Amino acid sequence: SYKYFHPVKDHIRELFNFHPKIKDTVEVYGAKLFANDMDSHKMCVHIRRGDFIEHELLETRSDFLVPAMTTVKNFIFEKYPEKNISLVFLTNDWEFVNSLDFDESGFLKIYCPKIKSRGENMYFGSRFCDSILLSSSGSTFGFWIAYLMPDSSLVFYNGQIDKVRGSGNFSKEYVDYDGFPKDWNILELDKRKKIVTIDNRWFFEKFGLNYISSKNFTQL
């Protein structure tokens, strides 16, 4: 649970102080990448697929991600109407990114940064993202990028963590209130309407304390 270390968050950030070589490399890369776009709001999207495809945790899927990007983009526009928004993908699965069919209007620019190491990737996200969408919220790597971002940053994450929702006695979804900070925004996919909305209730508030069977979710 993040609650064990959240009271000393500033100290945690000090412990996660990146090696100067990593910071220098990413600072130079970021300065070049955003040379003509320093002022826009950088809306980052973290994508996790790979090993999660065969795992019980839910990987990034387009049926969630595409409408989720629209929801997050609209939220940012409402909060910062004076700001342009640029989209930044954080992933190594560029084949998946290229397969996405989404509305690019409303984004000033779209970036697909090619970053070599995981350390550089984490520092890049925590350094340059103004907001982040965690499309596979079981990813601890994505969690730490978001957690290390400045307090003013906006964080959105997929409310569904497991492939079979609420599966198993130790499902992360049962105790999502222990896994994610309260000020992060929870995204819920309505599969019938094919839309994503922000619903910041915890799992037990949405589905009840005695929820066990995943069959109830087949109609969502």
Q: Which of 183, 132, 181, 134 is nearest to 161 (CA)?
A: 134
The CA-atom distances, in angstroms, between 200 and each of 3, 36, 157, 173, 186 are 18, 36, 10, 13, 5
- 220 or 176, which is more confident? 176
Query: What does the alpha-carbon distance between residue 153 and residue 20 come to, in Å, rounded to a whole number?
Result: 23
Q: Which phi and psi angles does 180 have, rounded to 5°?
A: -135, 140
pLDDT > 60? residue 202: yes
- 5 or 66, which is more confident? 66
- In sign, the C-alpha dihedral spanning 78, 65, 103, 145 is positive
pLDDT > 50? residue 199: yes
pLDDT > 80? residue 166: no
- pLDDT tier for residue 219 given thresholds of 50, 70 and 90: very low
pTM score:
0.90
pLDDT in tens, 118-129: 999 999 999 999
pLDDT in tens, 169-193: 556 787 888 899 999 999 999 999 9
Region 2-219: CATH code: 3.40.50.11350
pLDDT in tens, 67-109: 999 999 999 999 999 999 999 999 989 999 999 999 998 999 9
108-119: average pLDDT: 94
Query: What does the alpha-carbon distance between residue 86 and residue 187 come to, in Å, rounded to a whole number?
Result: 20
Torsion of CA 95, 101, 102, 105, to 10 degrees: 100
